[in-house]
């Protein structure tokens, strides 16, 4: 015949494990999201460095196109010098040619500055890409590990729940009904006495009640109504 006290101790183990598993199942998705958010931040830093480099290269191409336009304009102006008829027109063209030349010189200086910036940005983008890609991969790997842990916890919840459902009928109708009544309230139906406290609500259990439970009597916690089982590390009278 099944020993209700032993079965209650088994149930206490199940309930204790299930409580921990439920907490893990509630916490682990938040851990996954936090890791994935960090990975997205790492990827964003790579994208930002690459965007800065691309913007500088775009600016260089724009300046180089302006140089070509200015050179073409200067060529047209120089060609017109052979067709002017007055000194005034000639000097006016020379001023425009000089202005085009000055603009070309300014643009070439700006291109040189951009090329230096592009070199610096390219070095930085490569460094950021290497560091952040490694960080992103590590964070996503950790997220995958936590996701696997969550799956294992969910599977273990099913296993322990199945074990619990096999034990409950062995308690007998009276104890099983008491167990179900406490479970329906949302509390821990069976709790170990840990030291001098209820393992369900962590309130103090009177010494006399502890002795009675250790002696094999069936008692409830006066606060959370959990069925109490002995402290597994305590000496049984």
pLDDT in tens, the chain (237 residues): 467 888 999 999 999 899 999 999 999 999 999 999 999 999 999 999 999 999 999 999 999 999 999 999 999 999 998 888 899 999 999 999 999 999 999 999 999 999 999 999 999 999 999 999 999 999 999 999 999 999 999 999 999 999 999 999 998 898 899 888 888 888 789 999 999 999 989 999 999 999 999 988 899 999 999 999 997 766 554
| Residue 231, pLDDT score | 79
Residue 69 sits in the same domain as residue 28:
yes
Residue 151 sits in the same domain as residue 49:
yes
Residue 145 sits in the same domain as residue 215:
no
Residue 213 sits in the same domain as residue 135:
no
Residue 50 sits in the same domain as residue 167:
yes
Last residue in a domain, options 121, 145, 171? 171
Residue 166 sits in the same domain as residue 204:
no
User: Residue 136: which CATH number?
Assistant: 1.10.287.1490
Query: Token digits for 205?
Result: 């259990």
Give pTM, 2 decimals.
Answer: 0.71
Residue 122 sits in the same domain as residue 224:
no
Last residue in a domain, options 156, 171, 186? 171
What domain range includes position 201?
173-229
Residue 35 sits in the same domain as residue 141:
yes
Residue 83 sits in the same domain as residue 13:
yes
| Residue 1, pLDDT score | 47
Residue 182 sits in the same domain as residue 108:
no
| 89 is a domain residue | yes
| 19 is a domain residue | yes
Last residue in a domain, options 123, 151, 171? 171
Residue 94 sits in the same domain as residue 193:
no
What is the CA angle 192-181-174, rounded to 5? 85
Q: Per-residue pLDDT tens for 97-153? A: 999 999 999 999 999 999 999 999 999 999 999 999 999 999 999 999 999 999 999
Residue 101 sits in the same domain as residue 160:
yes
| Residue 14, pLDDT score | 93
């Amino acid at each position: 015949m099944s020993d209700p006290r032993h079965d209650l101790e088994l149930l206490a183990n199940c309930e204790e494990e299930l409580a921990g598993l439920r907490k893990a199942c509630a916490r682990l998705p938040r851990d996954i999201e936090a890791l994935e958010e960090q990975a997205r931040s790492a990827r964003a830093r790579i994208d930002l460095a690459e965007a800065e480099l691309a913007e500088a290269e775009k600016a260089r191409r724009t300046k180089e196109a302006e140089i070509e336009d200015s050179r073409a304009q200067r060529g047209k102006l120089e060609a017109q010098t052979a067709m002017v008829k007055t000194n005034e027109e000639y000097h006016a063209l020379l001023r425009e040619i000089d202005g085009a030349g000055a603009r070309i010189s300014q643009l070439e200086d700006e291109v040189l500055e951009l090329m230096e910036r592009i070199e610096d940005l390219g070095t930085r983008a490569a460094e950021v890409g290497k560091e952040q890609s490694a960080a992103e991969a590590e964070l996503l790997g950790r997220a995958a590990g936590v996701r696997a842990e969550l799956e294992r916890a969910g599977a273990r919840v099913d296993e322990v729940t199945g074990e619990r459902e096999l034990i409950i009928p062995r308690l007998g109708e009276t104890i099983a009904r008491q167990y179900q009544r406490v479970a329906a309230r949302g509390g821990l139906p069976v709790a170990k006495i840990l030291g001098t406290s209820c393992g369900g609500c962590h309130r103090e259990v009177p010494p006399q009640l502890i002795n009675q439970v250790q002696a094999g009597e069936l008692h409830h916690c006066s606060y959370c109504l959990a069925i109490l089982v002995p402290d597994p590390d305590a000496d049984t009278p």
